[in-house]
């Protein structure tokens, strides 16, 4: 396949960015991996690009005993480990805005100490009570931390009109099923209004995922063909080479459906298939996402095998290295039936998508790390070139490559120079990093800034969470009651027979995303 080299005709038709106002970022779980690998790195990048207000600081809260200086030293080391080049001046400047307060998350007195510390730091940094509480902790701590914040009077300033100055950020997962998600939402909304809550799905912060909205709704060439009349099928794949690594305790009680499907997969589905919103406002976009999820056809529990496949990786090899099976991983129950691979075929019952199959799959310990959304258009209805043996021509495919390299490509047929009739598939493709000569920002940088400026576009709303669980909870409960184990697939494989049959039954095949 030939590749066409792209170029930029007009850079920056419009480029806007909003600088955050005065803010305090209070991070629970400040001694953890997420804080040091993602949050502090994202904050430093925002600070270095002058996207943070001078009136800004971070208060780390955690169980480990650190002084302010200990926390600053560890933060600086994390920034150096995750960013190629940093200036000593920049590190010194951000370090002076980092503080730490240790304590027990279940101790009410800890939150009174946090309140006193915030009062002091808010006055010193002139933050004006604008506080973001970020819960970088296990989900079982969400409810007690929120309750203690509320009891300490930290969820809302004294004046009700100042409520929007206080925000709460939650990491996935948002519940384990519909019942737990509703319970969690009800508990949190006792202390925070929905407009204050920012549920992070870091996939929505990726440039290529965000570009789905731009490509669809800023161009006239795509929307007219973005429907059942022109699209044959859509495939969304998230392939990982890693196993459970150090997360066995969490993963073995969670599985691929909860860990990846309920959030990442369904969020990407909504951006591909949603109707045009009436404006680029956060809630207008989120309205359409929820409407799309409500349109997904419920699954017949008596025919789950026709629409779902679950697998669990066994022993295998990858790049010459022998890999353990899931049941042999440290910390995994040797009798575990937890799925590490899930694939499904679903339909959307609305005017635009009626009859178009959406194939979604995600799995661990596969042959390569690759995430993509592929829109395959219908083949031409009649070939003019059948006299020379070209009875059937390949379909056009538009692909959003999300990782490991973010890019967009479109394949189509064209004549090659030479013979009178010489045709080949051309691939019009561009990589963000190569085309724009920049390193793509980490999703957390985008999401942290949006949270501080109050833009909820890329965050998941309560009704979105509950509708997705309404769709998936029956599947989870059916699997829990099923005595049979998931299919076993070899670690390091591309796919396996049972997953292939799901799509081959329709006369289609999985795209070879692992080798493109």
Could you list the beta-strand ranges (E) of 347-483. 358-363, 370-377, 397-403, 407-415, 423-431, 459-460
- Does residue 449 belong to any structural domain of this protein? no
Whether 513 is covered by a domain: the verdict is: no
Contact 348, 292 (CB under 8 A): yes
Same domain, 166 and 281: no
Tokens of 397: 């495919």
Instruction: Write the pLDDT tens digit of every residue in 449-502.
Output: 999 999 999 999 999 999 999 999 999 999 999 889 999 999 999 999 999 999
Claim to verify: residue 245 and residue 126 sit in the same structural domain: no
User: Is there a domain that residue 446 lies in?
Assistant: no
d(CA 400, CA 208): 7
Active site residues: 264
Q: What is the DSSP string of 121-132?
A: HHHHHT-TT-EE
- 209/280 same-domain check: yes
pLDDT digits (tens, 9 = 90+) for 373-387: 999 999 887 766 666
- The verdict on residue 266 lying in a domain is yes
Q: Select from 128, 146, 171 the last residue of a domain.
A: 171
pLDDT of 13 strictly over 70: no
pLDDT of residue 386: 63
93/164 same-domain check: yes
Judgement on whether residues 399 and 256 belong to the same structural domain of the protein: yes
pLDDT digits (tens, 9 = 90+) for 320-362: 899 999 999 999 999 999 999 999 999 999 999 999 999 999 9
Q: Residue 385 has what pLDDT?
A: 67
* 185 domain-assigned: no
What pLDDT is recorded for position 480? 92
Residues 241 and 346 in one domain: yes
Residues 258 and 116 in one domain: no
> Is there a domain that residue 18 lies in?
no
Mean pLDDT of the chain: 89
Six token digits for residue 419 = 């013979």
Cis before 173 (ω within 30): yes
What pLDDT is attached to residue 441? 73
Q: Model confidence over 131-176: pLDDT tens digits?
A: 999 999 989 999 999 999 999 999 875 555 556 689 999 998 899 9
- Residues 280, 167 within the same domain: no
What integer pLDDT is reported at residue 483 of this predicted model?
82
- Better pLDDT: 230 or 86: 230
CATH number at residue 157: 3.40.50.720
pLDDT score for 162: 56
Task: Please check whether residues 133 and 212 belong to one and the same domain.
Answer: no
Which helix or strand (DSSP H or E) is residue 120 part of? helix 108-125
> Is 14 a residue whose pLDDT tops 80?
no
pLDDT band at 515 (very low <50, low <70, confident <90, very high): very low
Q: What digits encode the pLDDT tens for the residues 164-218?
A: 689 999 998 899 999 999 999 999 999 999 999 999 998 888 888 888 888 899 8
CA distance 84 to 77: 12
Looking at the structure of the chain, the number of domains it has is 2
Q: What is the CATH number of the domain that holds 417?
A: 3.30.360.10
> 44: domain range?
23-171
- Residue ranges of alpha helices (H) inside 414-461 are 432-436, 443-453
Give the per-residue pLDDT at 12. 52
338 and 249 in a common domain = yes
| Same domain flag for 116 and 163 | yes
Q: In what order do the strands lie in the sheet with 23-28?
A: 98-102, 56-62, 23-28, 131-135, 166-171, 197-200, 459-460
């Amino acid at each position: 396949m030939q590749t066409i080299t792209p170029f930029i005709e007009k850079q920056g038709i419009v480029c806007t960015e909003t600088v955050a106002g005065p803010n305090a970022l209070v991070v629970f779980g400040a001694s953890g991996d997420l804080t040091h690998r993602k949050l502090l790195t994202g904050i430093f990048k925002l600070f270095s690009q002058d996207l943070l207000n001078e009136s800004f600081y971070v208060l780390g809260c955690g169980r480990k005993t650190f002084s302010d200086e200990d926390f600053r030293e560890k933060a600086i080391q994390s920034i150096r480990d995750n960013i190629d080049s940093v200036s000593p001046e920049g590190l010194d400047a951000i370090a002076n805005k980092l503080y730490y307060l240790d304590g027990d998350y279940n101790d009410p007195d800890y939150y009174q100490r946090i309140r006193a510390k915030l009062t002091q730091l808010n006055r010193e940094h002139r933050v004006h009570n604008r506080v973001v509480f970020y819960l970088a902790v296990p989900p079982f701590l969400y409810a007690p931390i929120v309750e203690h914040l509320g009891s300490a009077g930290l969820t809302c300033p004294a004046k009700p009109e100042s409520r929007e100055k206080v925000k709460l950020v939650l990491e996935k997962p948002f519940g384990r099923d519909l019942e737990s998600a509703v319970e969690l939402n009800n508990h949190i909304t006792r202390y925070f209004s929905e407009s204050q809550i920012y549920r992070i799905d870091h996939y929505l912060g990726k440039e290529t995922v965000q570009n789905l909205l731009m490509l669809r709704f800023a161009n006239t060439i795509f929307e007219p063909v973005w429907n059942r009349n022109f699209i044959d099928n859509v495939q969304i794949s998230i392939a990982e080479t890693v196993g459970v690594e150090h997360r066995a305790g969490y993963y073995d009680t969670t599985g691929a459906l909860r860990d990846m499907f309920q959030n990442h997969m369904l969020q990407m589905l909504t951006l591909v298939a949603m109707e045009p919103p009436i404006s680029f406002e956060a809630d207008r976009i989120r309205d359409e996402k929820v409407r799309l999820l409500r349109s997904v056809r419920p699954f017949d529990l008596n025919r789950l095998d026709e629409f779902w496949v679950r697998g669990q990786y066994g022993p295998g090899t990858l790049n010459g290295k022998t890999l353990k099976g899931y049941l042999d991983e440290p910390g995994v129950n040797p009798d575990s039936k937890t799925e590490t691979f899930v694939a499904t075929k679903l339909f959307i019952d609305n005017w635009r998508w009626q009859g178009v199959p959406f194939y979604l799959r995600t799995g661990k310990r596969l042959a390569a790390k690759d995430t993509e959304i592929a829109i395959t258009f219908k083949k031409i209805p009649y070939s003019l070139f059948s006299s020379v043996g070209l009875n059937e021509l390949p379909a056009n495919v538009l692909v959003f490559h999300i990782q490991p390299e973010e890019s967009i490509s479109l394949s189509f047929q064209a004549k090659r120079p030479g013979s009178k009739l010489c045709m080949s598939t051309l691939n019009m493709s561009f990589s963000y990093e190569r085309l724009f000569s920049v390193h793509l920002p980490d999703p957390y940088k985008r999401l942290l800034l949006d949270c501080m400026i109050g833009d909820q576009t890329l965050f998941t709303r309560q009704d979105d969470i509950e509708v997705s669980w309404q769709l998936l909870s029956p599947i989870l409960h059916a699997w829990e009651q099923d005595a049979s184990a998931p299919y076993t697939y070899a670690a390091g494989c591309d796919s396996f027979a049972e997953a292939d049959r799901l799509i081959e039954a329709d006369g289609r095949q999985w795209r070879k995303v692992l080798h493109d």
